[in-house]
Amino acid sequence: MTIEGLLKQIGLRNFNQLYCDLSPAALYEQAIRRHEALLSYSGSLVFHTGQYKGRSPEDKFIVKDKMTENLVDWGKINKPFDPLAFRHLKEKLLFYLQNRDLFLQRCHVCADPQHRLNLWIITEQPVYSLFARTLFRVEKEREKRDPLLADFILIHAPGFRADPEIDQTHSGAFIILNFSEKLILIGGTGYAGEIKKSVFTLLNFLLPQKGVFPMHCSANLGNSNEDSAIFFGLSGTGKTTLSIDPTRRLIGDDEHGWDDKGIFNFEGGCYAKIIGISKEGEPEIYNSALRFGSLLENVIIDPQTREINFFDDSLTENTRAAFPIDYIPNASLTQTGGHPKNIVMLCCDAFGLLPAVAKLSTEQAISYFLLGYTSKIAGTEAGIKEPQAVFSPCFGSPFLPLSPKVYAQMFKEKIESHKPTVWLVNTGWVGGEYGIGKRIALSITRRLVQSILNGELAKSEFVQEKHFNLFIPQSFKDIPHEILYPSKSWKDERRYTTKAKELKELFNHYAQTLT
């Protein structure tokens, strides 16, 4: 059956021109010709996403039917959508796409062939076809693509807006996953991250049923397959920055699976936050972002010189670069690794209370995994005047269709079976909370992480501090004492004790909500 015939089976008919598996160069031409993007001075492609410049959690739904009703953890994150309403909205979307050009990329996810999932990404705009081709995995030879049918299809129409009163959506934008029909619909939003994260949500539903532990983490590899490491962390904690290390091979920057053989990347590209990025601070990401084939999302570009301003946040602080992972000089060719030797849980503690590094017991590792703690600082969102604790169970709750307990149990089984060393690394403040103390220097965090990965830190003597019961190094080389012992860096140690008690109570209270 032809591709057009297969599209007609799902209701896509009477479209104008179908562009299938276009190369990056051809997609550049289409995007520029349609005035969707600008070519930068260095060869990257710059596009703006309109009203939506980040994910829209209120607009995301999962169809509730026999397949999902007893599996999905329904609530504020996983909101149910009626199957009949889905059918009506799909019909309206398909009608909207008639007489329009369509762009199809036949991709797949999961570097381990055993878990491969074939995706067809169909969109009305070439810039998003390039995004899909960049972020996901693509067979280079056409003869390998042609026989492959889609395991799942994603239809993307940012120009189509729903009517909430009629269509049962929250707004004109929608992201709806239908596991029974193997179909994802995205409309009304131009933020490219919705494509990436809807596929991640899909994998977080399917893979646990195959015994594969899906993770929102970055990963890298040392000199042997057995020397792999994973980095859990929410946005702003340094997950991508710290995993890209010139002495190690990058497996992936954001999404991975862990099965009985080891770990593997889901994707084939990187989607890095780039506000304020510099060649000196993060050369690998900076250089990759400027190359031909890279997409720069909501970055400010001079319309005359086509120079990029990575420091301009007038559109959003959430500026992004999407580029193939092999743009990173030392990226792993297979994007797989053995069972992790070290696991690093990153947080950015703006309260200035947690140590820069601590070794976690199995019980503590599971607790911190379930908490998924970091903090927001003043100025990052409207209305935030002082640091706020943020909890995202399993470091990825917006993308987890199942109960956090399911993923926590899988994590527990993995660390009990393979016995990695688990670490907590704080990339936040010391000497007081945000506004009083200072942020731990990236150079110090890098040295601590490198000492974790090369085994030096594990040889230290550890003592258990009394506030969070964490095991911290008694001393380590020339790392300042106050970095390791944050209570010593506060001018008023009694105030530190009071604030630490408050944060510990927050941890305990949130943990109780998960039981």
Helix (H) or strand (E) holding 436: none
- The pLDDT score that the predictor gives to residue 236 is 80
CA distances 425 to 220, 432, 449, 477, 481, Å, are: 16, 17, 8, 17, 16
> Any known ligand binding at 216?
yes
pLDDT at residue number 186:
99
- Flag whether pLDDT at 308 surpasses 70: yes
Instruction: Report the pLDDT averaged over residues 245-267.
Output: 97
Give tens-digit pLDDT for 187-220: 999 999 999 999 999 999 999 999 999 999 999 9
pTM equals 0.95
Arithmetic mean of pLDDT, 501-505: 96
Tell me the pLDDT of the chain averaged across its residues.
Answer: 95
Catalytic residue numbers, as ranges: 55, 197, 216, 235, 239-240, 254, 320
Query: Is 396 part of any known ligand binding site?
Result: no
- C-beta atoms surrounding 465 within 10 Å: 18
Going along the chain from its start, the domains and CATH numbers come out as 3-36+59-210 (3.40.449.10), 270-327 (2.170.8.10), 339-513 (3.90.228.20)
Determine contact, residues 357/423, Cβ cutoff 8 Å.
yes
Q: Are 295 and 321 in contact (CB under 8 A)?
A: yes
Q: In this structure, what are the phi and psi dihedrals at residue 94, rounded to the nearest 5 degrees?
A: -65, -35
Taking a C-beta distance cutoff of 8 angstroms, is the pair 400, 407 a contact? yes
**Sequence-distant (≥ 6) Cβ neighbours of residue 104 within 8 angstroms:** 3, 7, 18, 19, 20, 21, 120, 121, 122, 129
375 marked ligand binding residue: no
Q: How far is CA 402 from the centre of its chain?
A: 17
Q: At what angle do helices 362-371 and 404-418 cross, to 10 degrees?
A: 150
Question: Is 236 known as a binding-site position?
Answer: yes
For residues 130 and 105, what is the distance between their CA atoms, to the nearest angstrom?
8
Residue 142: per-residue pLDDT: 66
Q: What is the pLDDT of residue 105?
A: 97
> What local confidence, expressed as pLDDT, does residue 223 receive?
93
Mean pLDDT of 112-118: 96
pLDDT over 60 at 381, yes or no: no
Tens digit of pLDDT for each residue in 158-176? 999 999 999 999 999 999 9
Above pLDDT 90, what percent of the chain?
90
Q: Which of 297, 388, 392 is nearest to 54 (CA)?
A: 297
Task: Look up residue 480 and give its amino acid.
Answer: P
Question: Residue 351, SS3?
Answer: coil
